Chains A and B, each alone.
Chain A
Amino acid sequence: MMTRKKRRLYMLLLALAGLGTATALTLTAFEENVAFFFSPSDLATKPPGDKRVRVGGLVEGGSVVKVDDGVSTRFTITDTAHSVTITTDRPLPDLFREGQGVLVEGRMGSDGVFVASEVLAKHDEKYMPKEVADALKASGQFKPELPGKPVYEAGK
């Protein structure tokens, strides 16, 4: 049996080891596995190279087309200042539609087309992803409206 002091020391060491491991793990994970957010304007002005990034914006009206293989989709998202073409073979979320704010995650292809491995839209049509709203505010195109209506409608 050990003394109180010794036990306290063990506990402290264990807690420190736990904390240390957690810190090391999170730092390593952050190094490798975090995607930075880019608006379409950011993509145009400071390209991210081969890094995995997130891009958010509004789906441009009339830009959504099926690619010839019948499975992939191609569309354009915009922060109204710049736009970028996205292609993906992932299923589009139910709330994906033209004029809607969406987030995509993936890499910029060498041909200037962004290849998305994930497309996100909100469950709830009334709200826009925060990054998208911020990007729109940055380009001066944000039009807040009463809750219950889309914050932005294409073609208006």
Chain B
Amino acid sequence: MIPEIGHYALVLALLLAVAQSVMPLVGAARRDVAWMETGRMAAFAQLAAITISFAALMQAHVVSDFSVQNVVNNSHSLKPMLYKVAGVWGNHEGSMLLWVFMLALFGAAVAGFGRNIPPTLKARVLGVQGLIGVGFLLFILVTSNPFARVYPAPFDGNDLNPLLQDPGLAFHPPFLYLGYVGFSVAFSFAVGALIEGRVDPAWGRWVRPWTLVAWTSLTMGIAMGSWWAYYELGWGGWWMWDPVENASLMPWLAGTALLHSAIVVEKRDALKTWTILLAILTFSLSLLGTFLVRSGVLTSVHAFAVDPQRGVAVLGLLILATGGGLLLFALRAHALKIGGLFAPLSREGALVMNNLLLSVSAAVVLIGTLMPLLLDAFGHKISVGAPYYNFITPFLTIPLILVMALGPFMPWKRADLPGVLSRMWVVALLTLVSVMLALWLAGVKPVMALVGIAMAAWAGFGALWEVAERVKLFRVPLADSLSRARGLPLGAWGTSVAHAGMGIAIAGMVGTTFWLAEDVRVMKLGDKASIAGYELVLDKVEDLNVANYRTEMGHFSVSRDGAPIARMKAERRWYPVAKMQTTEAAIYTTFYSDLYVVLGEENGAGGGWVVRLYHHPLVPWIWIGSLIMVLGGCLSLSDRRLRVGVPSRRAAPVSPALQPAE
């Protein structure tokens, strides 16, 4: 009965989405307040309906209702409760339901929080949100019904893919989707503004918080996914340039650009046309990600079911949204007035460079991801992997990082480079010190590692020094600096924190990419192995039965310079229901580096086990840095000036440090 209620609620949600798209759009065109108001009500009602539907599916998974096909395919009665819940979105149908749930959540949030947005714009934004909802609800109901029953009901299910039974992955999709779907709000705002034919600084201020929510969640989602890949896949790879990973990276790059160009719209009333286009493209890239993951057109380790019907349907939605948005853009963009002027060397100029480099990066990833598909049509089969991206990345990231640290030091409208550089001498000095330190610790080769460390230090110290400059650290008494720091707008803190996080993450990526040490060997009980100054002894290997799997567990004791420092447990698990084996690496982290041990198969003839040892310098910094970036996003979000509810259309007087006298 409950699955039927869920199904019914989903159909109801579709009807409400139709109402949410038609009524406010028509109402806005006719300036009919009552019709526009209906859009708001429909948005709330749609959220309620989808919540019921989602709860129904979750109930089926939690109580293991094996008369529902989706539960049979992805669950098992012995599965731990956390994964019964996470299993709801660990499959195609359930994850689509989560997708529309988030869409409705954002729609209702716009309806609820956007009190000061002019009624016609808000109605149009809600209408466009509703249209996207119609498309995806139809898609779910027609091709991917999560509530389909099965008769006769089997006694037990097929279990969730064991690799997905992991706390890191349980919450990775919700964050990722919150990011993907969050960009739909920016898209709706862009389309709404195009229909209105008007973009002003206030528009920039309304779009930014939504973009920031999406960006912060997407950053979190990607970081969690890469962390999971690192510890779960058994060789310490944190990014593989897999098409599906690229699918999340592209909206991230475009969304980062959007975040920055919206600042220019808000503060300087410039780059408006570009920002609108970017908002459309960012959401299109999110949809492209959905298409790539669900259509099976690309070989990816992550792809969901290979189902051409679904692929075509998502492609259709992608073409409708992107094509519609771009068509409207072509028809209406000229109506937008060109705004403020600025010199090439200025804060705006730096942000334009940021946008250029980020969009080019997104394009490069897009080409690399789609090229195999394109050439396949001509009968050539190629794979574009890490070598392609490793070749290009330095050309794009080095200038990007250079500008990233410089930008915040530049005033709006016009800057003088010598002046800016002279304010940054401390940063240059600290960067030099960091490179010397790296040189002393790791030697001159590979040279790219030193370049990378320079980039990381330049970004990190640049961000910190920018705050230090603002609070006049060491130039006024410390107490004065502190009170200045308290007076800094949270948005400014957010920028610096996020930029510093980026620097830290880059240091991590550089460290593990260039200074990785690895060793493979056969170890018998009592054998010793050493790597990067650590000594490991294989103490024992035992077989255990746990929950829904069997495990072979290798115990290692680790010592350094003869002093014992840790015990590590590396496992090989066997999941009998799913008939799958997984590797659980043992990781010993010191904050500066990770020792990573993988227990391999038993070595038949000679006895012993194949053991793989890795030493990953700086690798934890990738995720520490990402978390700091997320923190920066949250700080900016809590800035009072960015609150959606803040009244007044005019820019409130901001601190003098942010906006120099004109």
Contact = CB atoms under 8 A, between A and B. Distances in A.
A115 interface: no
B382 A37 contact: yes
Interface in A104-122: 105, 120-122
A1 B341 contact: yes
Contact of A89 (B344, B364, B396, B520): B520
B513 interface: no
Given A94-B163, A130-B298, A37 B381 contact: yes
A123 interface: yes
A43 B343 CA distance: 58
Contacts of B296: 127, 130
B383 interface: yes
A18 B361 CA distance: 10
Interface string B296-327: 11110111011000000000000000000000
Contact of B161 (A15, A37, A71, A124): A124
A148 to B, nearest CB: 7
Given A1-B341, A26-B368, A70 B610 contact: yes
Interface string A17-46: 011011001101110111111000000000
Interface in B329-348: 338, 341-344
A31 to B, nearest CB: 10
B359 A18 contact: yes
B581 A94 contact: yes
A84 to B, nearest CB: 16
B383 A94 contact: no
Nearest to B520: A71
A18 B391 contact: no
Contacts of A137: none
Interface stretch (B29-37, B438-446, B601-609): B601-609
Nearest to B162: A94
A103 B382 CA distance: 12
Contact of B387 (A18, A33, A95, A148): A33
Contacts of B161: 123-125
A71 B521 contact: yes
Contacts of A127: 296, 303, 305-306
Interface residues of A, number: 50
A24 B151 CA distance: 58
A71 B522 contact: yes
B360 A125 contact: no
A59 B166 CA distance: 28
A136 to B, nearest CB: 14
B385 A29 contact: no
B338 A2 contact: no
B363 interface: yes
B598 interface: yes
A43 to B, nearest CB: 13
Most B CB contacts (10 A, CB to CB) among A22, A30, A32, A36 go to A22
B356 interface: yes
Interface string B589-618: 000000000101101111010101000000
B73 interface: yes
A45 to B, nearest CB: 15
Most A CB contacts (10 A, CB to CB) among B73, B352, B388, B522 go to B388
Nearest to A35: B383
A90 B301 CA distance: 17
B579 A125 contact: yes
B173 interface: no
A21 B396 CA distance: 10
A86 B582 CA distance: 23
A62 B131 CA distance: 55
B475 interface: no
A25 B581 contact: no
B138 interface: no
B353 to A, nearest CB: 8
B380 interface: yes
A11 B352 contact: yes
A2 B413 CA distance: 11
B299 A22 contact: no
A29 B235 CA distance: 26
Given A25-B392, A70-B610, A91-B600, A123 B302 contact: yes
B367 interface: yes
A54 B383 CA distance: 7
B521 A30 contact: no
B158 interface: yes
A133 to B, nearest CB: 8
Interface in B499-544: 520-522
B371 interface: yes
Contact of A25 (B301, B338, B395, B605): B395
B367 A26 contact: yes
Contact of A91 (B297, B306, B521, B612): B612
B391 A22 contact: no
Nearest to A1: B341
B552 to A, nearest CB: 13
B583 A94 contact: yes
A107 to B, nearest CB: 13
B360 A22 contact: yes
Contacts of A35: 382-383, 385
B135 interface: no
Nearest to A4: B338
A33 B364 CA distance: 14
Contacts of B604: 66
Contacts of B234: 91, 93-94
Interface in A43-82: 54, 66, 70-71
A137 B381 CA distance: 15
A134 B305 CA distance: 16
B594 to A, nearest CB: 17
Nearest to A38: B381
Contact of B299 (A10, A124, A130): A130
B198 interface: no
Given A21-B360, A148-B158, A1 B521 contact: no
A46 to B, nearest CB: 13
5 contacts: A26-B364, A26-B392, A89-B520, A93-B233, A125-B578
Given A2-B341, A130-B306, 8 more contacts: A1-B341, A7-B341, A11-B352, A29-B389, A33-B384, A91-B600, A94-B583, A131-B381
* Chain A to chain B: the 5 pairs with minimum beta-carbon distance, closest first: A37-B381, A33-B387, A70-B522, A33-B388, A29-B391
